[in-house]
Amino acid sequence: MNIKLKLFKKLVMLICLLVSLSILAACSSSTSASKTTSGAHSTSATNKFEFKTVAYNANASGIPSFYTPPANLPNKPSGTLIRYQKVTGVPGVPIGATVYRIMFYSKTIYNKDIPESGYAIVPPTAAPTGGYTILTWAHGTTGAAPICAPSLFERSVYLTPGLDYFLADNYLIAATDYQGLGTSVTIHPYLLGQSEGQGVLDAAKAARQIPGVDASNKVFIYGHSQGGQSALFAGQLASTYAPTLKILGVVAAAPATGFPIIVDVLPTDNAVEGFTVTAAWTWSKTYKNFPTSQIFTPTGIKVASKYVGSVCTGQLDKILTKYPASVMFKATASKNSEIQKIAGENNPGNVVTSAPMLVVQGTADTTVLPQLTDAYVSAACQTVKDSIDYVHVPGATHGSVVKEEAQPISQWMQAIAAGAPNNSTCALNPNYVTGPSTGIS
- Looking at residue 243, its pLDDT comes to 97
227, burial (CB in 10 Å: exposed 0-12, middle 13-18, buried 19+): buried
Counting every residue written for the chain, the total comes to 441
pLDDT at 358 over 50: yes
| Each residue's pLDDT tens digit, 17-65 | 433 433 333 333 333 333 322 222 233 334 357 888 999 988 888 899 9
pLDDT band of 73, cuts 50, 70, 90: confident
Q: Coil, strand, or helix at residue 217?
A: strand
Q: Coil, strand, or helix at residue 114?
A: strand
| Each residue's pLDDT tens digit, 283-326 | 999 999 899 999 999 999 999 999 999 999 999 999 999 999 99
Q: To 10 degrees, what angle do helices 273-284 and 313-320 make?
A: 110
| Each residue's pLDDT tens digit, 399-424 | 999 999 999 999 999 999 999 999 99
Taking the C-alpha atoms of residue 76 and residue 66, their distance in angstroms, rounded to an integer, is: 19
Cα Rg of the chain, angstroms: 27
- Looking at residue 430, its pLDDT comes to 58
What separation in angstroms does the CA of 39 have from each of 26, 31, 48?
A: 20, 12, 17
What separation in angstroms does the CA of 209 have from each of 83, 143, 372, 389?
A: 10, 29, 38, 32
- Looking at residue 39, its pLDDT comes to 28
